[in-house]
Amino acid sequence: MAQQEIKIALCGAGNVGGAVLELLTVNADFYKKMFDTDFLVTEVVTKSGKLRGYKDKFNGNIHTDFESIINNDSIDVVIEVMGGIDDAYKVAKQALESKKDFITANKAMMSLHGDELFKLAENNNLFIGFEASVAGGIPIIRSLSSKARIENISWFAGILNGTSNFILSKMESDGIGLKEGVKQAQELGFAEADPTLDLNGTDAAQKGKVLSYLAFGSKLDSSIELDIEGIDIVESIDFKFALELGYSIKPLSIGSHEKDRLILKSFPALIQQSSILSKVNDEMNAIEVFTKDSGSNLFYGPGAGPKPTASSILSDLFDIAQDNKVNYSKFGQGLMKISNDTFSCQRYLRLEVNDSPGVMAKISSFIAKQNLSIESVIQKEDFSQNGLIPIVIVLNECNENELEDLLNSFSNEKDLFKKIVHLRIFNPNK
């Protein structure tokens, strides 16, 4: 291959942008040897006009707005690592319209505008790389897309948010509460100053939506709303009961597809301690992908952080250098019926009730009235607080509507049930 030069505009100069600059500078000779290419960041766009991350040896131009470089025909590739949705979408559109390949780490933007951007890229014969948008350094976009072009994917289940996995892991191993877990995650630099999107499941669900596009061809636009439940409903006492029942609690994003029915949800779930995903601890991410032909495949690694994310961005850049430009527009299958109500699993219910005779009989009668069946019950007098005792009930499989009817019937009895915590039990092999 003849020697070539790829000129890059980098939008965003924070930690990830800095790591991109650093790797391209420090490893320049190696990359040149591997890809017969000089990768040159000639322009950086950053609102503040300053590089926050890697500053050494950068002698390109710094701009404060993208418009000032959009007509620069010497740029081959735009890399977007600035975050946010609206401005990032504008940069993506302008980059593609001005005939530049585009690489992004932005799952929020791709989960809303992916369909449109893939079409735009296809029409202009350009490439969109988004390896860094899901699970940081794990090469899940290329792995899942190459699998999905060979076999039908039955389902995936991912731990896609490092912050919430870190917090739940610490709650489990050290017996701390959610607040302390968030504090530790912030001190270690995993959680943002405002960790809302990590804690409420939005970040994980956006990533799940991107994976579902590759796995099943579901839409990447605003027509698919995120179905989320955050980890903030889990309390330390739930880990004690989960352990006794043989489970860990993990933040899961699941997708499954059968005929035209799609299930796409994110929630904290009990998963069997013998399962592979239950061993994924701290800030690590993992995705289990199941196909009928090749069974279960596990992808594991660091889900966030500047260097792992930059490494995934460079993998897209090197695909461009080798002209290995996947047309992601081909994955879209259009409209699909979202059937989240039909999602069926066993259930963990923790009810805090007054410690008085006949309570258990009453609870059982509610459950029987809804035609649901109990698998096991744990009642612990020694966990009682302020006259309330926790009762944990494991229900046999039921779907989301059946569960909701049961929870509604409980909530009409405010004197009896002081608190109701519901967690799904995820067991894909059942």
| 409 contact partners, CB below 8 Å, separation of at least 6 | 366, 369, 370
By CB under 6 A, the residues from 293 to 312 that bind ligand HSE are 303-304
Closest by CA to 278, choosing from 263, 294, 298, 295, is 298
Q: 204 or 314, CB closer to ligand HSE?
A: 204
Closest approach of ligand HSE to the CB of residue 172, in Å: 17
Closest approach of ligand HSE to the CB of residue 22, in Å: 19
Alpha helices in 344-384 (DSSP H): 359-369
Q: 102 or 166, CB closer to ligand HSE?
A: 166
Closest approach of ligand HSE to the CB of residue 303, in Å: 5
Q: Distance between CA 212 and CA 158 in Å, rounded?
A: 11
Closest approach of ligand HSE to the CB of residue 313, in Å: 13
Closest approach of ligand HSE to the CB of residue 161, in Å: 4
Q: 111 or 339, CB closer to ligand HSE?
A: 111
By CB under 6 A, the residues from 144 to 163 that bind ligand HSE are 161-163
By CB under 6 A, the residues from 335 to 354 that bind ligand HSE are none
C-alpha distances out from residue 229 to 107, 203, 350, 398, Å: 18, 11, 17, 18
Closest approach of ligand HSE to the CB of residue 23, in Å: 18
Residues in the chain: 430
337 noted as active-site residue:
no
C-alpha distances out from residue 86 to 94, 174, 288, Å: 12, 40, 32
Q: Does 106 bind ligand HSE (CB under 6 A)?
A: no
Q: Distance between CA 269 and CA 301 in Å, rounded?
A: 20
C-alpha distances out from residue 23 to 27, 53, 300, 307, 310, Å: 6, 12, 22, 8, 8
Contacting residue, 198, 229, 352, 400, with ligand HSE by CB under 6 A: 198
Catalytic residue, candidates 207, 209, 250, 265: 207
Burial of 316 (0-12, 13-18, 19+ CB in 10 A): buried
Rounded to the nearest 5 degrees, what angle is found at the Cα of 330, between the Cα atoms of 293 and 6? 110
Closest approach of ligand HSE to the CB of residue 226, in Å: 14
Q: Distance between CA 335 and CA 330 in Å, rounded?
A: 14
Q: 83 or 428, CB closer to ligand HSE?
A: 83
Q: Distance between CA 191 and CA 163 in Å, rounded?
A: 6
Mask of contacts with ligand HSE, 203-222, x by CB under 6 A? x-------------------
Q: 211 or 398, CB closer to ligand HSE?
A: 211
Q: 189 or 387, CB closer to ligand HSE?
A: 189
Dihedrals phi, psi of 388, to nearest 5 degrees: -105, 140
Cβ pair 244, 378 in contact under 8 A = yes
Q: How many chain residues bind ligand HSE (CB under 6 A)?
A: 8
* Contacting residues toward ligand HSE, per CB under 6 A: 161-163, 190, 198, 203, 303-304
Return the active site residues.
207
